[in-house]
């Protein structure tokens, strides 16, 4: 374990967290809705880790929409009891949020701005019709583009973003889009996924896609459903220390996975003759 800076002054900690997004109204704190940040703040206050979210400067590395999941999201907070935070946070969190690692960080650390890039994966619910066409089209996204047609643009936000890497991967888990960039716009990955699915189905051409990437469109691309989207990784140079996920919490997640798999099988059988 890295040297503890002390228990009397405020210490800034980063945690690597994961969550199942299905039961959350997004990650960002909303006082009247169940959110990832809201559950984390409540857990920290129950454990005496923080007194309130503003003084602790609780922050996440990115905002995920309602129903979107995370394998690697970064949480940062300031606390006078870092040992307690490291030891107790996982046990206070609900079953659909977990902590996998921690690190000491400078007091100025921002999980939103002090990261090098983010990787998302989008898993398509069914095998696309034309994976080679999707791969050809995906290459068009690499580099700097105007994503006005592929995102919900908030006031004051630039629609210009740079895609560092993108791939369509087909393996035993199905077909997925994997995309890496320093930052993303609201709904951007889901809109990219939807456009590539349209390419596969022949309802969108490469020429139309290129025009959209220049920021010219009559109608924006509608985002794909959130269920298949995972914030897969947030890339940093932090010195992470692993926190094992308890057997009870891991067991609950596996049990829920099995139940959902069974439910999908039953739904499909209801349509048979």
Q: What is the CATH number of the domain that holds 79?
A: 3.30.70.580
- Asked if the structure places residue 5 within a domain, the reply is no
**254 in a domain, yes or no?**
no
Q: Supply the range of the domain harboring residue 82.
A: 11-114+237-245
User: Scanning the structure block, which residue is given the tokens 């040297």?
Assistant: 3
pLDDT in tens, 139-191: 999 999 999 999 988 888 899 999 999 999 999 889 999 999 999 999 999 99
Q: Is residue 81 part of a domain?
A: yes
Tell me, yes or no, whether 35 and 81 share the same domain: yes
- We report the CATH number of the domain holding residue 202 as 3.30.70.660
131 with 218, same domain: the answer is yes
Q: Give the count of beta carbons closer than 10 Å to the beta carbon of residue 123.
A: 17
pLDDT of residue 8: 56
> Is residue 65 flagged as an active site residue?
yes
Query: Which is it for the CA torsion 67, 14, 250, 171, positive or negative?
Result: positive
Q: 145 with 219, same domain?
A: yes
What six digits make up the tokens of 198? 């349209």
pLDDT mean across residues, the chain = 91
Whether 269 maps to a domain, the answer reads no
- Rounded CA-CA distance 60/170 in Å is 31
Whole-prediction pTM value? 0.89
Task: List the catalytic residue out of 32, 65, 136, 237.
Answer: 65
Quick one: 106 and 200 in the same domain? no
pLDDT of residue 2: 43
Examine residue 229 and state whether it is found in any structural domain, yes or no: no
One domain for residues 107 and 147? no
Given a contact cutoff of 8 angstroms between Cβ atoms, the answer to whether 97 and 39 are in contact is yes
Clarify whether residues 96 and 140 are in a common domain: no
- The tally of domains found in the chain comes to 2
């Amino acid at each position: 374990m890295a040297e503890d800076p002390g228990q009397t002054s405020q210490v800034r900690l980063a945690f690597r967290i994961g969550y199942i997004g299905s039961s959350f109204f997004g990650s960002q704190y909303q006082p009247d809705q169940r959110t990832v940040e809201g559950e984390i703040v409540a857990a920290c206050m129950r454990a005496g880790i923080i007194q309130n979210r503003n003084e602790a400067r609780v922050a996440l590395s990115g905002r995920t929409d309602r129903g979107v999941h995370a394998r690697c999201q970064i949480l940062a907070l300031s606390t006078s009891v870092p040992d307690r935070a490291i030891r107790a946070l996982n046990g206070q969190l609900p079953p659909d949020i977990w902590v996998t690692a921690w690190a000491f960080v400078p007091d100025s650390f921002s999980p939103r701005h002090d990261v090098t890039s983010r990787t998302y994966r989008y898993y398509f619910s069914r095998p696309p019709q034309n994976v080679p066409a999707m791969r050809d089209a995906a290459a068009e996204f690499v580099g700097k583009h105007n994503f006005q047609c592929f995102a919900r643009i908030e006031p004051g936000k630039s629609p210009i973003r740079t895609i560092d890497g993108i791939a369509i991967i087909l393996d035993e888990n199905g077909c997925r889009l994997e995309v890496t960039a320093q930052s993303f716009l609201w709904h951007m990955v889901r809109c990219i996924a939807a456009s590539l699915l349209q390419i596969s189905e022949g309802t969108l051409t490469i020429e139309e896609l290129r025009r959209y990437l220049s920021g010219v469109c009559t109608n924006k691309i509608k985002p794909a459903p959130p269920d298949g989207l995972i914030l897969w990784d947030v890339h940093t140079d932090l010195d992470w220390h692993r926190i094992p996920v308890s057997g009870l919490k891991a067991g609950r997640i596996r049990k829920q996975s099995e139940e959902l798999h069974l439910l999908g099988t039953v739904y499909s059988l209801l349509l048979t003759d």
